[in-house]
Amino acid sequence: MIVSSKAHTSDQMNLDEPGSAGPASVQIGMALTAVILLMTAAILVFGDSALPSHPEFVPFHAAIVLMLDGITAFLLYGQFHYRRLPLYLLLASAYLLSALITLPFTLSFPLQGQPGGGIIGGSQSAIWLWHFWHILFPLTLLLGTFQDWHGRSTAWPQERLWPATFISIVSVAALVVILTLTVTLFHDSLPVLIDSSRPAPLTPAFYWVGSLAALMTLAALILAWSRFARLSAINLWLAVTLLAFFADILASLGAYQRYTVGWYFGRIEAMLASSILLFVFLGEIVSLYRRLGRAVNQMVESNHNLVSLVTENQHAKAALAEKNLQLERISSTDHLTRLPNRRATEQELRDQYQIAERYGRDFCIIMIDIDHFKAINDTHGHNTGDKVLRQLCSVISNRVRMTDFVGRWGGEEFLVICSETELSAATELAERLRELVEHTAFDLPVSLTASFGVSEFRVGEALDDLIMRADQHLYLAKQGGRNRVSFNPEQAAQLLENWNPGQNPPAAGPANF
């Protein structure tokens, strides 16, 4: 159980901690205390009234105490291993003693047809066991409460818990055996506590020993009650338990004989005393299950919310990925022709160049320029020119291979990147595209043509040189009369060698078209 640093409630703390007795526990404890006191007062007045003799009530009473105290002892041993405080070890020992001593007490109690004693022992065995029981039980509780007073915060190391538990169980069992042997083997040497031949069967020895039990119980009760000032739940319920136990002793001292109102009341008080701490633990267990249920429900709800958040996050990621893809397409697409723009085309060129450099593969580029496009814009307007650009892009894109890349290079220029392609194949493709453009009916009063420059990748050549050669071939095609494909590598090399980049390209001579 978790202890918070400020406002504590009884179902959030350990029973031995200050403040663990919440308002509800105090109210129930006070109400039960009032009921026990009122009943005890009434019994002291009517306790000697005779009732029908039911000796079988004793086995019933003993079985209830055995069961209740046995379970309580088990739970207290568990608390000892959890809290590691000797308080719980002494309390467990007390309840184990109370449970085990009911066995010889029942066997020695005289039933019907057994005036001299029970199954074991003699006529005084049962009453002596009762007195031992009512002296040793409060004495052990007194020791536990006293130890809690002086060394509450001293927790035992883990390795001492099981040996201490074993010693406690063996010691209690041995003590019960010794007491049983004492009241049976040495029965005749014990003072007589009940003399059925006397008008008042209870002898002075009974009251002396009974008074010792009462004083021991009263001392344990006072100490537990004084410790309750810390609002400790364990001390509250120990005080109520000892009050019921004290009422049992008072009822027996005032009953005068067996099977009176006081005698029956004493047995009932003993069963009540056995049940109080057990029901406290059961209440704690129920509270624990209630908190566990709330925690599980909260966890299920949190898990549901988490799943919803994850789903929403996945949807958001998918939407974001789609948006990024759209932005990528927008950033790499020419808005007019819907072809890859200059940036995307340059990136594709670099990729193809790196592949060719690394693996020695062929690839070519085809540079395309629309003939007399400025005249189209000037004569028919820019809208018509834009329409022509879109139509030309559609014609070219539908004729190239799936592996070819078509991008807008700038203005009325376009670039086709042919991967895994030799110069001859790229030249044939350029020629087919030229013929297709020439024979396509564009929305113009005149026919439209385009010029083509082709260059192939050469090992060790820079990418810029590859582009420059394609551009130079395009220039040669323009100079040669347009509507042509230029790819002659020897003439292009000569032109490049004599070309000053700061000037316009030199006029081209005859080229191989």
Q: Mind telling me the catalytic residues?
A: 412
Residue 198 burial (10 A CB sphere; 0-12, 13-18, 19+):
exposed
**Ordered strands of the 485-486 beta sheet:** 405-410, 413-419, 363-370, 450-456, 485-486
At 168, give phi and psi (nearest 5°).
-60, -50
Write out the two tokens for 204: 């002075």
- d(CA 381, CA 396) in angstroms, rounded, equals 23
DSSP letters, 183-216, are HHHTGGGSPPSB-TTSSS-B-HHHHHHHHHHHHH
Using DSSP, state whether 117 is helix, strand or coil: coil
Name the β-bridge partners of 413. 369, 410
The C-alpha angle 62, 68, 73, rounded to 5 degrees, equals 115
DSSP letters, 339-381, are SB-HHHHHHHHHHHHHHHHHH---EEEEEEEETTHHHHHHHH-
At 114, give phi and psi (nearest 5°).
-130, 65
Q: Comparing C-alpha atoms, which of 288, 221, 291 is closest to residue 82? A: 288
Rg (CA), the chain: 53
Q: Is the dihedral of CA 219, 220, 223, 225 positive or negative?
A: negative
Q: Comparing C-alpha atoms, which of 206, 300, 250 is closest to residue 37? A: 250
Residue 203 burial (10 A CB sphere; 0-12, 13-18, 19+):
middle
Exposed e or buried b per residue across 306-326, where buried means at least 16 C-beta atoms within 10 angstroms of its C-beta: eeeeeeeeeeeeeeeeeeeee
Evaluate whether 81 touches 94 at the Cβ level (below 8 Å). Answer: no
Exposed e or buried b per residue across 52-79, where buried means at least 16 C-beta atoms within 10 angstroms of its C-beta: eeeeeebbebbebbbebbbbbbbbbbeb
Q: Comparing C-alpha atoms, which of 438, 465, 426, 434 is closest to residue 452? A: 434
C-alpha distances in Å from residue 300, one per residue of 2, 305, 459: 21, 8, 65
Residue-level length of the chain: 513
Residue with tokens 């189209």: 376
> Measured over all CA atoms, what is the biggest interatomic distance in the chain, rounded to whole angstroms?
154
